[in-house]
Each structure stands twice: as C-alpha cells, then as structure tokens.
Amino acid sequence: MISNRQFKDAIAEQFARVAKALGSPKRIELLDLLGQSPRTVEALAHLTGMSMANTSQHLQVLKGAALVEADKVGPFVTYRIVGPDVASLLAAIRSFAEARIAEVERLTREFLEGREGLERLDQKMLAGRVRRREVTVLDVRPAEEYQTGHIPGAVSLPLGELRKHLGKLPKNGEIVAYCRGPYCVLAVEAVEILRKQGFKAFRFEDGVQDWRARGYPIAAGHDLPSPTRKSSQRRPSP
C-alpha cells in the first residue's frame, strides 16, 4: 500500500505529463492543426516550418501524454487528436490567457491595427448572420480541413486559390471569411485580398471548434459548394 504522500505525488506527476506536453509553442500549434483534420508528419512539418525530425519528436511527446494518436499506412504515419476534449482543453488555455495575460490583447491589437475589415465585430451577431446564411461564408482553410468539418453552408475556397475565383464571388453582397479561429491568419489574408478587389468582406473569428462550442452543428464531407451561391437579400451591416 502506498502512503498518502506517495499517492498525491504520483497523481500530480500524471497531471504534469499533460502540462509538460503543452509547454511548447510548436506543440500547441500541432494540436491546433490536428484539431482541424488528421495529418501526416510530412504535412505537419511543412505547415509548422519544422524539420521532419523535430516534428516527429514533438508528436511523440504529445502521444505520450495521450493527446494524439497515430495510424501507419505504408510509409506514412497519420496523426489525429484523441477526441474533442483536446480541443476543449486548448480553448480553455486560450480563454485563460486572453483573460489573464495582457500581452495577448496587445499583440492582437497591434497585428490588426489599420487593417480594413479586420476590426473587432460583434461576433455573436455575426454568428447569427452566418447561421441564417445572410452572408456568403468562405472557408479559406485547405480543402481537407473543410472536408473533415465546416460551418454548414460555407463555401470551400482555400486561400491559395482565392485570387483565381474572385470573378465567381458576388460583388453586391457581403462576404465573411473564416479559418481556424481568432489567431489564425488565413482569414486575415483573405479579407485583405477581397477588400483590395472591392468586395465588402469581413473576418469571422470563429473556427470550427468555436462554432461547435456555441452549440451549432458542424457539416462534413467532400461536397464543396460553388462560390457563386447567392446570399439572402437581408443584409444588415455586421
């Protein structure tokens, strides 16, 4: 039989395994990416700008803390988060940092300052308009992330393909772009491109996980709607 002290120390050590695994900016980024869709080590290395070796090492730490799992098909190893509770854990960390660490707000303000269409909007009201499909919603993440899960009614138009399809987007309506959440820059770039071309575009801060946390359903699949889908005639300003 172990003593009270031994039990307390042993339990705390297990909790610390998770905290230690999260104690790296790159591992936080890896979990954020895997929360969008499963990915191979090669894909994750490319997206994070790390070497294959470093990416693999970080993933092994996350796996050891039961945050991710992996499957091997041929020469490729594909990782995924173990469940939605991992996304909830990341959201809790984000919320705590936003509330307690002033640097988060300062960095965000400096990044968005002077960028047209990227000012803070009433996200609750904008979410209602997105849900009612009163605006054209663009999912500018890679197609595989859209296929894994997306906001219902959203059009898949990855950032790298946006310029090629500008002519298919409605000029007389409002466009809302979203990506992986409030600290993802894909939607920021998309709105800048659209604004320069004369579109009335705004950034929606919610990602898929944020949308799910609001209690709204998530769509999934390979059916990619056309960018020419018409929006509702109701167009109050966001």
Catalytic positions: 179
DSSP 26: H
Domains of the chain, each with CATH number or no CATH: 4-85 (1.10.10.10), 117-213 (3.40.250.10)
The per-residue pLDDT for 73 is: 82
Spatial separation of the C-alpha atoms in residues 152 and 219, rounded to whole Å: 5
Buried b (16+ CB within 10 A) or exposed e, 29-65: bbbbbbbbbbbbbebbbeebebeeeebeebbebbeeb
Size of the chain in residues:
238
Alpha helices in 101-232 (DSSP H): 102-112, 123-131, 143-148, 186-196, 208-213
Q: Given strand 39-40, what is the order of strands in its sheet? A: 39-40, 76-81, 68-73
Of the candidates 137, 139, 211, 226, which has an alpha carbon nearest to the alpha carbon of residue 174? 137
Residue 94 — φ and ψ, nearest 5°? -60, -45
Write the pLDDT tens digit of every residue in 4-45. 999 999 999 999 999 999 999 999 999 999 999 999 999 999
> Which of 163, 135, 141 has its CA nearest to residue 231?
135
pLDDT digits (tens, 9 = 90+) for 181-194: 999 999 999 999 99
Higher pLDDT among residues 101 and 73, named by residue: 101
Give me the amino acid identity at 228: T
